[in-house]
Structure formats: structure tokens, C-alpha cells
């Protein structure tokens, strides 16, 4: 129970904090406008001011979690305040689905809102009709959120899992997938960009191949949105599960599921509630359930956080206002420059990310011979350089993510820290 003394103490502490928050956010629109003007002139130095990230932190782990800019924070805070002050119950009006559809090249009725990629993959894995002995092709570079549902269903239903390795080029990767297909293959489920080494898979070619063989294509899209522009209708996949909390810089807990319109009726809906159905009647004899809504929205059910939804909408609007092509060019060029400097440095390392332009994104992964990758990630964090250790599938490497709010000073700090660690006999 909150006693009076504690309440007064909290109120005294919170008041200046709230004022500070308002002062930080009041000029957001002006700041965004000025940032856009700066970008038109090729000046990226002013972009960092749109983010609350500590100025002494070198954040190079955007592939795990994006740092939300002030407009996203403002939208989320305003939404919470609206609910608290106006007793406003947040609805689900389809605005986020519309924005997503426009951004990723889909139709609104092909989009469902989820919490994350894992939830979307689960809807897909349990929604596709499969029988004992059917085969699913996965990769050796899966995140647990992209493969766990498939592995679990395989164990329960007697399905077969075939694992392929990614290759240095797009053509070689496509050949490896084609070679793995058998008469029992029913699903090809792969990451668009794996969490491990930042390799862009030739997804359109993969989906074309799958369709030509009557195989269902599923893509784990955790990373592309906010990093690179893409069009799902052009890619031609049957299913795509993505999120907004990484490169799109939205709030944690916001994701989406794409189901190609022709696949909707063939996808079993295992979880239903409000927003999934057109009606229900507990007074009927027997109690009656209406029909599922005629869109992918049937997979979005129950209450949603208004603050997260409004923050996600603001994140997409911010992304579109900054310019997807411009953001991609900036993020990828930082990564390409870093990769070149790493490979041409005097630091002994093994580069895992392909050098082929088509297969390279804004993530670079490498190993240090005779050094533990995790040890370097931990050492770098002590210098306020935040990276990601990739331990999945025994890959054991360092992953560096560069977004448009990063700059050459950030990557230079990483190079200095890496050289010191490589030359340290105790490292």
C-alpha cells in the first residue's frame, strides 16, 4: 500500500522529471525538421540529437534492440497519459497495419499485429497443414525465435528437419537450398537476414524456387524493416514475420505477421479472441461462435498496449520521414567501411560476413583467432561500447550493427578497442 509519506516523496521527485521530459519532447517536430534539412545536405552529425542515447555510449547492437528517438517516446508517453487522464481505452483501428502495408509492399488485410517475430513464427508453424514425415528446411544460422516452433512441432508431429549452411555468395546459397530439396520437402523457412552474420539471403530467388516446387516459403524478417527497403509482393513469400523494435526503432513488444492473401484460408488459426471474430453469442443453444474476420487480422487478438501501438506508428512515420533509401545507404555504407577497415587492418581476424555487395547488410560479424569473442564483447562494454556476442549454433563471433545514428567516431572507437584487446596477452 502506498502511504502518504512515500506518495509525497514520489510526487516531489517526479514533478521535475515530468517537466524535464516535456522540455525534451516539446521541440521534437522542430528537431525532426532540422534533421531532415541536415540530411538533405548530407550532414549526419545532427541526427544523434534526436535520440536520448547517452553521449558517452557507443551503441553498435541495434540488431538486438533499436534506440527509440524522441518522437517515438513522445507518442508512447502521450498515449499513456491519455489513458490515465481521460480514461481512454486504446482501440485497434488498423492504422499500424496500413502503415506497415505501405512500407513493406503488402495489402493491409495481409498484415496482423503481433508482439514479436517469435509469435508470428508460431502462428505460421502451427497454422500450416503438415503430416508425419513431411520435411522442413531451416538454416544453421537460426535465432531461437525463428526455429523453436518448427523444432517443437517436428518433435510432436513426427516431421523431419533438414539444415542447410549459408554460403559466401547468394548464388551458392541458392544452390545449397535447391540441393537440399527432396520429394518430402513441404516448407522452406529461412531468415531474410540472419541474426548471426548479417548476410542478406537471396529471398526472391528462394521464394521463386519454392513456388516452382509447390513448397511453402516462410521468412524470418526480424532485421530488414528499418535497415533496408523491401517489398513483400515482389519477394513473393507466403509468410513473413517481423518486428519493429530493432532497426525500425519502435518500442519493444511490437511485431507483425504477413500472410499472402492466397494462403489465409489455408492457415489454421489456433488462438482467437476479440478482433479475431465477427461475433459470438453465449445465449444461443449451444453457444455460438461467429466467423473469423476475412483478413490476417484474425491472428491479432485481445487487448493491445495503446502506448506500444502508438509508439510503433510514430516509429514508422519517423522512418518514412527520414527516408528509407537514405537510411539504408547510410547504415550499409558504415558497415561496408568498417568491414574493409577490419579486413585491411593489422588485426588478425576471421571475417564471417560476406563481402559480396548483394549479400551484405548493416551487420558485420567476425572472430579473433585464439581469442574468445565473448571476452571481447565484455571488455568493450566496460568502455561503453555495446556489441553482440553470437553464441547461437556454436558460431561464437562478435556482431557489430551500424545504424544511421552511428558515425565514424563510433566505428573508430571499436577498432581501437579491438586492436588493444587483440594485442593484450591477457585478453
What does the pLDDT read at residue 27? 52
Note the helical H segments in 105-225. Answer: 117-127, 144-157, 170-180, 203-212
- For residues 125 and 267, give the distance between their C-alpha atoms in angstroms, rounded to a whole number: 10
Q: Where are the domains of the chain?
A: 95-319
For 242-297, the pLDDT digits (tens) are 999 999 999 999 999 999 999 999 999 999 888 898 888 899 999 988 899 999 99
The answer to whether the CB of 307 falls within 8 A of the CB of 251 is yes
For 32-75, the pLDDT digits (tens) are 676 667 777 777 878 888 899 888 999 999 999 999 999 999 99
**pLDDT confidence band for 10 (50 / 70 / 90):** very low
Q: Which CATH number fits domain 95-319: 3.40.50.10310, 3.40.109.10, 3.40.640.10, 3.30.1360.120?
A: 3.40.640.10
The answer to whether the CB of 83 falls within 8 A of the CB of 74 is no
Q: Which strand (E) or helix (H) includes residue 375?
A: helix 373-381
For 200-258, the pLDDT digits (tens) are 999 999 999 999 999 999 999 999 999 999 999 999 999 999 999 999 999 999 999 99
- For residues 71 and 247, give the distance between their C-alpha atoms in angstroms, rounded to a whole number: 15
Q: Give the global pTM.
A: 0.91
What does the pLDDT read at residue 28? 52
Residues with Cβ within 8 Å of 270's Cβ and at least 6 positions away in sequence, in order, are 123, 126, 127
For 304-357, the pLDDT digits (tens) are 899 999 999 999 999 999 899 999 999 999 999 999 999 999 999 999 999 999
> Three cell numbers at 276?
479475431
Amino acid at each position: 500500500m502506498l502511504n502518504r509519506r512515500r506518495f509525497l516523496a514520489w510526487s516531489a521527485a517526479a514533478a521535475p522529471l515530468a517537466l524535464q521530459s516535456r522540455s525534451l519532447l516539446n521541440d521534437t517536430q522542430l528537431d525532426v525538421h532540422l534533421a531532415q534539412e541536415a540530411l538533405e545536405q548530407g550532414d549526419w552529425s545532427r541526427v544523434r540529437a534526436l535520440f536520448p542515447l547517452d553521449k558517452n555510449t557507443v551503441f553498435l547492437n541495434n540488431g538486438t534492440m533499436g534506440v527509440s528517438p524522441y518522437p517515438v517516446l513522445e507518442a508512447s508517453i502521450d498515449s499513456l497519459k491519455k489513458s490515465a487522464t481521460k480514461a481512454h481505452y486504446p482501440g485497434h483501428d488498423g492504422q499500424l497495419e496500413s502503415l506497415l502495408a505501405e512500407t513493406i509492399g503488402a495489402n493491409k488485410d495481409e498484415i496482423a499485429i503481433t508482439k514479436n517475430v517469435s509469435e508470428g513464427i508460431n502462428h505460421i508453424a502451427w497454422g500450416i497443414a503438415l503430416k508425419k514425415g513431411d520435411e522442413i528446411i531451416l538454416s544453421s544460422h537460426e535465432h531461437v525465435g525463428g526455429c523453436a516452433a518448427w523444432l517443437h512441432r517436428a518433435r510432436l508431429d513426427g516431421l523431419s528437419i533438414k539444415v542447410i549452411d549459408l554460403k559466401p555468395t547468394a548464388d551458392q546459397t541458392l544452390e545449397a537450398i535447391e540441393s537440399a530439396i527432396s520429394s518430402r520437402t513441404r516448407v522452406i523457412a529461412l531468415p531474410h537476414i540472419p541474426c548471426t552474420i548479417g548476410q542478406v539471403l537471396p529471398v526472391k530467388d528462394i521464394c521463386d524456387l519454392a513456388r516452382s516446387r509447390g513448397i511453402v516459403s516462410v521468412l524470418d524478417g526480424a532485421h530488414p524493416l528499418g535497415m533496408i527497403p523491401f517489398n513483400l509482393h515482389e519477394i513473393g513469400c507466403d509468410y513473413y514475420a517481423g518486428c519493429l523494435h530493432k532497426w525500425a526503432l519502435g518500442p519493444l513488444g511490437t511485431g507483425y505477421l504477413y500472410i499472402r492473401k492466397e494462403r489465409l484460408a489455408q492457415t489454421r488459426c489456433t488462438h482467437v479472441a476479440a478482433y479475431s471474430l465477427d461475433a459470438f453469442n453465449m445465449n444461443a443453444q449451444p453457444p455460438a461462435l461467429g466467423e473469423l474476420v476475412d483478413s490476417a487480422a484474425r491472428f491479432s487478438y485481445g487487448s493491445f498496449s495503446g502506448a506500444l501501438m502508438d509508439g510503433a506508428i510514430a516509429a514508422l512515420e519517423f522512418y518514412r520521414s527520414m527516408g528509407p533509401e537514405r537510411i539504408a545507404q547510410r547504415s550499409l555504407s558504415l558497415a561496408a567501411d568498417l568491414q574493409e577497415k577490419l579486413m585491411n587492418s593489422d588485426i588478425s581476424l576471421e571475417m564471417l560476413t560476406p563481402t559480396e555487395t548483394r549479400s551484405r547488410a548493416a551487420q558485420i560479424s567476425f572472430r579473433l583467432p585464439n581469442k574468445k569473442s565473448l571476452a571481447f564483447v565484455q571488455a568493450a562494454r566496460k568502455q561503453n561500447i555495446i556489441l553482440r556476442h553470437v553464441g547461437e549454433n556454436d558460431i561464437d563471433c562478435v556482431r557489430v550493427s551500424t545504424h544511421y545514428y552511428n558515425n565514424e567516431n563510433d566505428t573508430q572507437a571499436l577498432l581501437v578497442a579491438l586492436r588493444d584487446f587483440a594485442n593484450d596477452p591477457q585478453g
